Amino acid sequence: MSSKTSFFNKTVFLKNMRQFWPLWGTYLGILLLTAPLVLYNYYNVIPDVSVYQLREWVLNSAANLGLAFAFVFSVCSAVAMFSFLYSIKSAGFYSGLPMRRSGLFFTQFMSGLIWLIGSNLITALMLLLVEASCGKAYFDVTFQWFLIMSGYCLFYYSFAVLCAVLTGHNMVTIPLFIVLNFFVVIVERLVKAIMSLLVFGYDFRGTILKFLSPPVYMQQFGVLSTYENGAVSSVTFSSWGALAAYAAVGVLFAFAAYMIFKRRHMESAGDVVAVNVLKPVFRVCMGLGGALCGGCLLYLLFPNLISGSPAAAISVYMLISAFIGFFAAEMLIAKSFKVFRRRRWAELSAIWAVILLFTVGMRTDLFGIKSYVPDAESVESVTLVCGDSYVSDNPEVIKGITEIQRAILEYADYYESGHYPLLLEEKYGIRYNRESDDIYGYNVSILYTLNGGRMVARDYRIYMCADELAVEGSVAYRIDKIMNSEDAISRRLNLGHDFSEFSSVFSSVELIDTDGEYYTAELTSAQLEHLYTVLIPQDVAAGLIGRIDFVSAKSDASYEPYHDYFNVVINCDMMREDDSFVSISLDIYNTDSAVFRYLVDLYEQNEIVETEGSADIVIPA
């Protein structure tokens, strides 16, 4: 007997269209409201909108707002199209139809996708209409808007369909979709938080796996504007390659979803996990995920409930949370509370063993993370952040910073436990006086870029006092030596540029007198050049300005007059031809400095102009 069925069933497709039109209508309505209508308003607000402004606006609306809409409506669409899998009645009805599963899958898949893409197309046409009615229709940029939106929709919709066929429960698809979309970022944050408790100094800078959290990665997508002579010369979408890659992955997801759908047992309707082989995976993921989430949460709520080190507390909390996560998963799978069977306890024991290996291993530095200090020769450049930041590729500086790290690690127990006075006494022979000796806490952050491009980051909490700073070879002494070197200060102040390369400068000098009177003044280009090329380098070489005072509050006193005359704050932005800026921000509190004397002289001789509010841009003569 011949059958009317084929790979794509028109009747099923039209039924989907009719049944779920409110969903499609909402998506289309929101797109129309946020794209053509807002563009029309934009034209009204800025009647003489330039082609570049328009391009920027159109592409940005797709790259940013469109991302959110595509994310939300793709998963809603997938749930609508595949919700028949979640009830035994509807699953029976659909699988009894004279259609192959391939035909059913393809029809359902395309029903959801066609309407998403169709809504994008209608909106793109409306954008063209608005553009045409307000002057000229820009086909290329509107087509780009359509491609961006459709790329997002293809990826997220396919991803959501994959989630939809993995489960048999309508309450699971959306949470699963959200968790998988943010999985890497969530796990990264949690692991970082736990590792920082277990490994002294552990720091984690980003991940190459960020692309596995698509919404986070896609937030970088935007518009690339190129400037010429201070004006926009071209506007393009920044991430065509990445978007195309995601769209291609979307196609793969769709294929994976089809393969699962084809083999899926319809009796799994109502099950949290519809694919049998994924049930143990779900238990393990919930166990480990529970350990990470619950461990952090419990530690946040009860940091001091378990005496001893934070490492002990987090370990116990992780074990408890793994138990809860694992058996919660089993309860969801079995749809029963009677899940405490011997075999499951054995599986949980394996998870506990992994957690203990992780926590104990990290705490005892089994993997050598804590004690790792790279060879100075293998480091290409280093950034030291303590009070301020210093980036250097000087081998001597790199070596000095590796020595700082080794010194910190040598006294790690003191820093970690907060027993700094004991460190002073036992290691430096300094008797700490609680009444007179102030202790200052600092975060020391070190970021090595190794020769191969790999990055190693560490972040330590250390303490300093004036007495330690005076001890040669101490941690405080070493840090002070590096951070207050002439090179470090010059780099912090952005010195060393050829002043003639600046096309325009913006300078603001704040003068605060002893009565607390506050003046804002501006410098001429010649005055600023004299400061930048002569006086500031001279003061830096003499160690009079730009230093970080680690053991006093001077650097925090910018707005408090602490001498007889002025507090001076200089903020300069100097712009080059290529629109890049060099900025200087400097607090002057040393009355012996040449800069201070020069500014005070200028003020007294009325040679700097007092202004209200921000200073104007001064174009060099």
Partner 1 sequence: MINVSNVVKRFDGFTALDGLNLNVPQGSIYGLVGPNGSGKTTIIRHLTGMYRQDSGEITIAGEPVYENPSVKAKIACIPDELYFFPSANIREMKNYYAGIYPKFDTDRFEKLHEAFPLDEKRQIRRFSKGMQKQAAFWLALSMRPEILILDEPVDGLDPVMRRQVWSLMMSDVAENGTTVLVSSHNLRELEDVCDHVGIIHHGRTLIERSLSELQGNIAKVQFVLDEDQSLPGNLNVLHESRVGKVRTIIVRGKFEDVDAKMASISPLFYDIIPLTLEEVFIYELGGEEYEFKDILF
**Contacting positions for partner 1 (CB under 8 A):** 1-5, 9-12, 14-15, 19, 87-93, 95-101, 103, 265-267
Nearer to partner 1, 14 or 125 (CB): 14
Toward partner 1, which CB reaches closer, 6 or 614? Answer: 6
Q: How far is the CB of 342 from partner 1 (least distance, A)?
A: 15
Give the shortest CB-15-to-partner 1 separation in angstroms.
6
Q: 34 vs 90, which CB is nearer to partner 1?
A: 90
Phi, psi of 513 (to 5 degrees): -90, 180
The dihedral region occupied by 226, where left means phi > 0, alpha psi between -120 and 50, and beta the remainder, is beta
Tell me whether residue 103 or residue 543 sits nearer to partner 1 (CB atom). 103
Q: Which two tokens stand for residue 443?
A: 């975060």
Q: How far apart are CA 384 and CA 391, in angstroms?
A: 6
**Among residues 519, 542, 546, 540, which one has the least CA distance to residue 602?**
519
CB of 163 to partner 1, least distance (A): 23
Residue with tokens 């195309």: 244
**Residue whose pair of structure tokens reads 């005076």 in the numeric block:** 470
Q: Which is nearer to partner 1, 42 or 84 (CB)?
A: 84
Instruction: Find residue 532's DSSP bridge partners.
Output: none
Give me 491's structure tokens.
């780099």
Q: How far is CA 564 from the centre of its chain?
A: 45
Least separation in angstroms between residue 96's CB and partner 1 is 4
Q: How far is the CB of 301 from partner 1 (least distance, A)?
A: 37
Minimum CB distance to partner 1, residue 94 (Å): 9
Q: State the nearest-atom distance from the C-beta of 83 to partner 1, in Å.
A: 10
Q: Please, what is the minimum distance in Å from the beta carbon of residue 118 to partner 1?
A: 21
User: Which runs of E-coded beta strand occur in 333-404?
Assistant: 379-386, 388-392
CA 7, CA 11: separation in Å to the nearest integer? 12
> For residue 437, what are its two tokens?
């000796």
**Is there a contact between 123 and 32 (Cβ–Cβ < 8 Å)?**
yes
Distance CA(490)–CA(539), nearest Å, equals 10
Nearer to partner 1, 79 or 548 (CB): 79
For 381, the 3-state DSSP assignment is strand
User: What would the two tokens of residue 221 be?
Assistant: 């997508």
CB of 8 to partner 1, least distance (A): 13
Which residue, 286, 278, 357, is CA-closest to 322? 286
CA 451, distance to chain mean position in Å, is 25
Task: Compute the distance between CA of residue 209 and CA of residue 187 in angstroms, rounded to an integer.
Answer: 11
| Shorter beta-carbon distance to partner 1: residue 103 or 361 | 103
**Considering beta carbons, is residue 96 or 368 the nearer one to partner 1?**
96
Nearest to 317 by CA among 295, 286, 348: 295
Nearer to partner 1, 20 or 448 (CB): 20
Q: What are phi and psi of 418, to 5 degrees?
A: 80, 15
Q: What element of type H or E holds 485?
A: none
Looking at the Cβ atoms of 89 and 338, the one nearer to partner 1 is 89
Q: How far is the CB of 108 from partner 1 (least distance, A)?
A: 14
Cα–Cα distances (Å) from 539 to 260, 387, 490, 592, in that order, read 71, 20, 10, 9
